[in-house]
Chains A and B, each alone.
Chain A
Amino acid sequence: MKKIMITLLMTAIVLGLNAQEAKEILETVDKNMSSKNRIFESDMVIHGRRSSRTITSKTYSEGDKQSFTEYLSPAREQGTKMLKQENKLWIYSPSTDRIIQISGHMLRQSVMGSDLSFEDMMDDRKLTDIYNATIAGHEEIEGRDTYILDLAAIVDDVAYHSQRLWVDSERFVPLKQEMFAKSGKLLKRTTLSDVQKVQGRWFPMTMVYKDMLKDGKGTEFRISSAKFDQDIPEYIFTKAALKQ
């Protein structure tokens, strides 16, 4: 009886420590990945059935509430702008000179043919705010040791019921992320690489998003310039900025 009690106590302590460690890992990941605001210049490589195309854009974002993206190339997409405020999304197309709000089924459409839907771009809260983490093990990815974290939602209004995260054990940057449906079905996989030190934090400069329910090679997102905690004028996050 005594032995059983000791075993149970030890298990509880180990599990508690595991949860504590996992939480700390996730907090460090959030510190690396989140910032007050950021400005990215990036290339989005969309792989189609026959060919691939690259879309260059500049994105300003503040917290998880608002972001503004301007597409710079190719010529067909140049001048297209997108504004996100809370759970609303507007898109401006220079060819029609119109601002339209993306809603309902349109939110489920992919952004410019990529594996990212508009609604994927709407939810980017801190992981610690919405998930409880436990360490499921270790694995080596591209020569780097990673913690495997299993994340379970602690709030109701979360897009993915559970996630699995492979976090670089030294730099505390996720190198792989899998998002699951409530039913346990794998919905999306993100592979992150080219981790660089930017303004004192480790940050993955290349991300490959793959909608696991859809055929195709996924969408590559390469950040060419990342700046954190900059002075972004407030007007950038207004509808008026879309037409400028």
Chain B
Amino acid sequence: MLSLKLAFKNLLGAGLRTWLNVLALSFAFVLIIFYNGMIDGWNRQAQRDTAAWETGVGQFWHPAYDKYDPFTIEDSHAPISEDILKEIENKTLAPVLVSQATAYPQGRAMSVTLRGIDPEQEVLELPSSKLPQSDGIDYAIIGKSMAHSANLEVGDKLLLRWRDKNGTFDAREVEIADVFKCDVPSVDNGQVYIALSNLQEMLAMENEATLLVAGETFEMRELEGWDFKDNEFLLADLQAIIDSKKMGGSVLQGLLLIIALIAIFDTQVLSIFRRQKEIGTYIALGMTRAQVVGIFTVEGGAHSILAILLGAAYGIPLLLLLNKNGIGMGYAEDMAFDIPVAEAIFPYYSFRLILMTIMIVVVTATIVSYLPARKISKMKPTEALKGKLQ
């Protein structure tokens, strides 16, 4: 307790030098929380959006289907059984039929993926209900990014060419019924959504699907002839991207932390050099060398406590403001990277994140304070009292 009192007294007594160190360390502290909070917030949003728009609580794939292998799409379709049809009627499963095609917007050719979706499904947030089925016209819905790259608007006609299950070419014009805004690129880029029954008829695959998306109300069980893929599997790519972003960010945070710690280290070395008489006095008063090392270590480490308090003073309002308003990312019109990015990212500061950051700052500041203080244990008290250089 005595050492803590002494430490704070000495620190505050050092004035500007202490506050410069504390300010540098507090920047590192706030930045670590901000960056990781942003990544965590992005991760949570991306996972939530992907689940809401694409994966549900998991998907049942046709055994031959592999979304990373276009070779498999041709053979990945199977009839929907009576048992599954009941689940579809109850809105617990949403069937999706996948096929590849070529779209011809304004006389250009571009590869697209056709996705047949039940207009009445409620499992995914896709506005599939905007796919009218009864007036003899084929309708499609597309995402904003797809609409941008193909220069399409609601009401425009899009010519599609595809091969049916026998490999025979067919072509038809569809009318764009809706352009939806979605932050998940794999739901948007190059995807054209058509009513499931229409696509089944177009591909000559009556009552067939490539995959089934499970909704929250689906009672999880095995479906014969379909392989279940949970969200851990379906979102593995996203997790890998987030992990690599975190790793990249940690380099920057580490550098900032090192700069602040070097300043503390430097201050400690200077203190021990300039305060030899004080050290000699402590020992003369009966303190052991370890106790004196302790005083100096606590004094250095106390920088981190002050940094946390200062960081909290300006960081809490700032981070809360960012949390409330979000960090604008702009709509990723090009969606150059295949990563779900929302228009604004709302950082998420978990208790674990804050606790871990406090621990890192306190422990590292204490270690760099201890390293120069070890010199005290080798000092001769008599020489120290005289203030002689050792």
Contacts from A to B (Cβ < 8 Å): 103-106, 108-110, 153, 156-161, 179, 181-183, 185, 187, 211, 213-216
Q: Provided the pairs A105-B100, A187-B161, A214-B108 are in contact, do residues A160 and B171 lie with their beta carbons within 8 angstroms?
A: no
Q: Provided the pairs A110-B109, A214-B104 are in contact, do residues A182 and B168 lie with their beta carbons within 8 angstroms?
A: yes
Q: Provided the pairs A109-B111, A110-B109, A213-B109 are in contact, do residues A104 and B168 lie with their beta carbons within 8 angstroms?
A: no
Partner of A183, one of B101, B111, B167, B170: B170
Complex Cα gap A140–B70 (Å): 45
Q: Which of B69, B73, B102 has the most CB of A within 10 A?
A: B102
Given contacts A104-B69, A160-B169, A213-B161, 17 further A-B contacts (CB under 8 A): A103-B70, A104-B73, A105-B111, A106-B111, A108-B100, A108-B111, A157-B166, A160-B168, A181-B169, A182-B169, A187-B169, A187-B171, A213-B159, A214-B104, A214-B107, A214-B109, A215-B106
> Does B233 have its Cβ within 8 Å of any Cβ on chain A?
no
Contacts of B113 in A (CB 8 A): 105
Instruction: Report whether B171 and A103 are in contact in the complex, using a CB–CB cutoff of 8 Å.
Output: no
Contacts of A160 in B (CB 8 A): 168-169
Question: Chain B 100-143 against A: per-residue CB contact (8 Å), 1 yes, 0 no?
Answer: 11101011110101000000000000000000000000000000
21 contacts between A and B (CB under 8 A): A104-B70, A105-B70, A105-B113, A108-B100, A153-B168, A156-B168, A157-B166, A157-B168, A158-B167, A158-B168, A159-B169, A160-B168, A161-B170, A179-B169, A181-B172, A182-B164, A182-B170, A187-B171, A211-B109, A214-B109, A215-B108
A120 to chain B, nearest CB (A): 10
Instruction: Report whether A215 and B107 are in contact in the complex, using a CB–CB cutoff of 8 Å.
Output: yes
Contacts of A215 in B (CB 8 A): 106-108
Question: Chain B 176-212 against A: per-residue CB contact (8 Å), 1 yes, 0 no?
Answer: 0000000000000000000000000000000000000
Contacts of A213 in B (CB 8 A): 102, 104, 107, 109, 159, 161, 171
> Does B314 have its Cβ within 8 Å of any Cβ on chain A?
no
B369 to chain A, nearest CB (A): 54
Instruction: Report whether A159 and B167 are in contact in the complex, using a CB–CB cutoff of 8 Å.
Output: yes
Complex Cα gap A156–B73 (Å): 19
Complex Cα gap A229–B113 (Å): 41
Partner of A181, one of B69, B71, B108, B161: B161
Contacts of B168 in A (CB 8 A): 153, 156-161, 182
Residue of B nearest to A216 (CB): B107
Complex Cα gap A160–B106 (Å): 23
Contacts of B170 in A (CB 8 A): 161, 181-183, 185
Contacts of A106 in B (CB 8 A): 70, 111
B67 to chain A, nearest CB (A): 11
Complex Cα gap A106–B108 (Å): 16
Residue of A nearest to B172 (CB): A183
Complex Cα gap A108–B171 (Å): 14
Contacts of A179 in B (CB 8 A): 169
Contacts of A187 in B (CB 8 A): 161, 169, 171
Residue of B nearest to A158 (CB): B168
Instruction: Report whether B167 and A157 are in contact in the complex, using a CB–CB cutoff of 8 Å.
Output: yes
Residue of B nearest to A87 (CB): B167
Complex Cα gap A120–B389 (Å): 88
Instruction: Report whether A104 and B71 are in contact in the complex, using a CB–CB cutoff of 8 Å.
Output: yes
Residue of B nearest to A182 (CB): B170
B250 to chain A, nearest CB (A): 34
Complex Cα gap A215–B104 (Å): 9
Partner of A103, one of B71, B107, B161, B172: B71
Contacts of A108 in B (CB 8 A): 100-102, 109, 111
Q: Which of A158, A159, A182 has the most CB of B within 10 A?
A: A182
Complex Cα gap A179–B113 (Å): 23
B197 to chain A, nearest CB (A): 17
Complex Cα gap A103–B101 (Å): 13
Residue of A nearest to B74 (CB): A104
Complex Cα gap A153–B168 (Å): 10
Complex Cα gap A211–B169 (Å): 13
Contacts of A156 in B (CB 8 A): 166, 168
Residue of A nearest to B104 (CB): A213
Contacts of A104 in B (CB 8 A): 69-71, 73, 100
B98 to chain A, nearest CB (A): 11
Contacts of B100 in A (CB 8 A): 104-105, 108
A177 to chain B, nearest CB (A): 14
Contacts of B163 in A (CB 8 A): 159
Complex Cα gap A105–B159 (Å): 17
Complex Cα gap A104–B75 (Å): 11
Complex Cα gap A183–B201 (Å): 12
A5 to chain B, nearest CB (A): 39
Complex Cα gap A210–B144 (Å): 31
B322 to chain A, nearest CB (A): 40
B136 to chain A, nearest CB (A): 14
B209 to chain A, nearest CB (A): 19
Instruction: Report whether A185 and B166 are in contact in the complex, using a CB–CB cutoff of 8 Å.
Output: no
Residue of A nearest to B70 (CB): A104
Residue of B nearest to A115 (CB): B109
Complex Cα gap A197–B70 (Å): 43
Q: Which of A109, A110, A213 has the most CB of B within 10 A?
A: A213
Complex Cα gap A160–B71 (Å): 21
B77 to chain A, nearest CB (A): 15
Complex Cα gap A39–B57 (Å): 56
B222 to chain A, nearest CB (A): 29
Complex Cα gap A183–B202 (Å): 10
A154 to chain B, nearest CB (A): 12
Complex Cα gap A148–B79 (Å): 42
Residue of A nearest to B112 (CB): A105
Instruction: Report whether A185 and B70 are in contact in the complex, using a CB–CB cutoff of 8 Å.
Output: no
Contacts of A161 in B (CB 8 A): 168-170
